């Protein structure tokens, strides 16, 4: 039987500390010495770059630190009001299928958002979870405006995952103006608060834990 531990940090966690923790935990999982772990936290305001990031997509750092995350994906923002969930799971036990794993993470987010009457969805050409904004002008690529509410960025070591997902509950959205989020310039970024949902971090944590079994 696979044992998954759940860890919640109530204070913001410096990014370097989180990286070091994940590296050590993943090594312990690989050695069979530690359990799988799901870690919910917030970071101070920062930008991170993934393995596909382009320098020109860092438009204006706004005096925020920029970290090389070595995860998949491109530039993103982390900060208070955004729930980050780092997922350290052993895909050797769950099937060595990265594409399916990412899809499961996206479905996990969609199930969680539905608890708050938010209809999230995915697009085959854009990673992450999106919502429709019919009250806003649409882009040239869609009939109805679509904005990103959650991001996914994963790294594997010997088929053990780390990094994970982030959901915008109530962050400072203006920080996204400093980057091209995830390398996608034609679509905006939103949050649960921006959609009129006054949700606490504790409430979304409870929903994530409840909906985990629906996606995995």
Q: Which residues are catalytic?
A: 182
Contact criterion met (CB below 8 Å) for 44 and 80? yes
Instruction: Supply φ then ψ for residue 130, to 5 degrees.
Output: -125, 160
Give the closest residue to 88 by CA, choosing from 167, 182, 165: 165
Phi, psi torsion values for 36, nearest 5 degrees? -60, 155
Within 10 Å of residue 166's Cβ, how many Cβ atoms? 26
Q: Residue length, the chain?
A: 216
Query: Do 89 and 108 touch, CB atoms closer than 8 A?
Result: no
> How far, rounded to the nearest angstrom, does the alpha carbon of residue 22 sit from its chain's CA centroid?
15
Helices and strands in the chain: count of H runs, count of E runs: 4, 11
Q: What distance in Å separates the CA atoms of residue 156 and residue 130, rounded to the nearest whole number?
A: 24
At 136 the three-state DSSP class reads coil
**Residue 49: which H helix or E strand, with range?**
strand 46-49
């Amino acid at each position: 039987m696979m044992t998954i531990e759940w860890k919640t940090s109530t204070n913001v966690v410096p990014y370097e500390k989180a990286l070091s923790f994940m590296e050590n935990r993943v090594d312990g999982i690989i050695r069979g010495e530690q359990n799988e772990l799901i870690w919910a936290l917030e970071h101070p305001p920062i930008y991170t770059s993934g393995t596909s990031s382009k320098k020109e997509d860092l438009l204006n750092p706004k005096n925020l630190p920029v970290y090389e995350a070595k995860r998949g994906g491109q530039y993103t923002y982390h900060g208070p009001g955004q729930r980050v969930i780092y997922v350290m799971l052993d895909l050797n036990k769950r099937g060595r299928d990265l594409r399916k794993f990412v899809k499961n993470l996206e479905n996990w987010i969609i199930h969680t958002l539905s608890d708050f009457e938010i209809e999230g969805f995915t697009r085959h050409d854009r990673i992450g979870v999106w919502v429709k904004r019919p009250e806003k002008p649409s882009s040239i690529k869609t009939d109805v405006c679509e904005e990103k509410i959650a991001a996914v960025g994963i790294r594997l070591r010997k088929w053990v995952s780390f990094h994970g997902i982030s959901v915008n509950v109530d962050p400072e959205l203006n920080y996204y103006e400093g980057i091209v989020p995830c390398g996608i310039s034609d679509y905006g970024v939103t949050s649960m608060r921006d959609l009129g949902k006054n949700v606490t971090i504790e409430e979304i944590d409870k929903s994530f834990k409840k909906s985990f079994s629906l996606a995995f």
